[in-house]
Amino acid sequence: MLWPIIICIVAVIVFGVPFTYYWFRWSDKNAVGDDKRFVDKPAKKAKEVRVIKSDTDGSAGGGT
């Protein structure tokens, strides 16, 4: 009566440990691929902003 329990425990250990090892190995391989695929792009330099001020004293013409 004890033998089926012992056989089940041994089967879980014998098949479970290698399965878990290869599962994690496969997952790590996919994680490395995703890291390469979804890498953060470097921040672009802020573009130089040029402000053109209009002539406010009225000497630019166009007004009465």
Residue with tokens 């041994």: 10
Reported as a pLDDT band with limits 50, 70 and 90, residue 31 is confident
Write out the E strands in 1-64. none
CA distance 61 to 56: 11
The string of pLDDT tens digits covering residues 6-30 is 999 999 999 999 999 999 888 888 7
Q: Look up the pTM and report it.
A: 0.43
User: Are 54 and 60 within 8 A, CB to CB?
Assistant: yes
CA distance 46 to 52: 19
**With the C-alpha atoms ordered 5, 11, 17, 23, is the resulting torsion angle positive or negative?**
negative
